[in-house]
Amino acid sequence: MTGLQLALASGTLLGLALALLVWRLAPSDPDLVDALDRLSPDHVVPRRSAGLDDATTDTGSAVDRIGLWAMKNLPGGAWVHTPRKDLTILQINETRFYGEKVVWALLGLAMPPLLAGFFSLIGLPLPFAIPTLGSLALAALFWFMPNYNATDDAKKARIEFNRALGAYIDMVATGVRDGSSGQQALRSAAEVGDTWVFKRIESELRRARYMTRAPWDSLHSLAHELGVPELDDLADIMQQSGQDGAQIYNNLRARAAALRSAMLSAEVAKANATSERMYIPASLLGIVFMAILVTPSMLRFTT
């Protein structure tokens, strides 16, 4: 590295350090939405189900401590977007999510210099700009990796939730048919299953009973927190039974059948899309095979 390159690198790092220092110490107007979200009870004490293991509930891990530090020191706008509904259904607190973002960004910053050092050791030095720009680009890319992971995992969790919800609605309908009230049917059906979906619903219904709150109101809140509109439909049906005593058995069975039909249609569409993607490699294989057959004849014809 020449003296000019060293001077440019030193000036760049010094200017970046000064800019970060000024940005950190300069007073700024707080984001009202972010401040209210941090003061809300759901943010301070995130809801957890009884089925979580110790690794998830451990708030003393290094990633959680990094996330807690980031929440206290970084501005709210630095996170760009926090998928709170996805984190809620995955039972991941925001400190863990923010800590993962910081760790991924640091990993992106460290990888290009390490690769540049490896190439230097084998005699292939890279220009200074390549690892520098690569670190910034990779850090920005890896910063959004936890968002992608949370969105993808939450999509799978909602599919699993809807599968269990169809069975739960059928059990609620059976309880109503046997003469139980709407509230009793909801609680009895939730106590039957041992999956995380049933435990989550049971926990919400137990909280509603302790708070002397209608169970369908709690289901409305849970559906909004998790981003599951199908649970909201169940709450609407049960609220109707609590208001005017309507016969809801047929409505519940119809809702369960509609939910299963929608999931079956989604699976069929997914299978069709996968089959269509398989046509491309099969067509390419056919083209290659035809090229192998035609090539000798074309070579003899040209010679």
Closest CA to 28 of 69, 70, 76, 68: 76
**Per-residue pLDDT tens digits for 75-130:** 766 677 888 889 989 988 888 999 899 899 889 888 888 888 888 888 888 787 88
For residue 175, name the pLDDT band (cuts at 50, 70, 90).
confident
Q: Tell me the CA distances in angstroms from 107 to 6, 71, 195, 238, 258, one per residue in order.
A: 24, 19, 35, 49, 46
Single-letter amino acid, residue 15: G
Q: How far is CA 71 from the centre of its chain?
A: 19
Check: pTM over 0.95? Answer yes or no: no
CA nearest neighbour of 83 among 160, 164, 153: 153
CB 86 within 8 Å of CB 150: yes
Rg of the chain, C-alpha, whole Å? 28
Tell me the per-residue pLDDT of 31-79, one tens digit each, with 9 for 90 and over.
555 566 655 544 443 444 433 444 344 456 888 888 888 888 777 666 7
Write the DSSP symbol of residue 77: G
Residue 150: per-residue pLDDT: 92
Spatial separation of the C-alpha atoms in residues 167 and 189, rounded to whole Å: 9
Nearest to 231 by CA among 172, 191, 149, 277: 172
Looking at residue 29, the DSSP 8-state letter turns out to be P
For the segment 142-154, the average pLDDT, to the nearest whole number, is 91
Tokens encoding 135: 């670190």
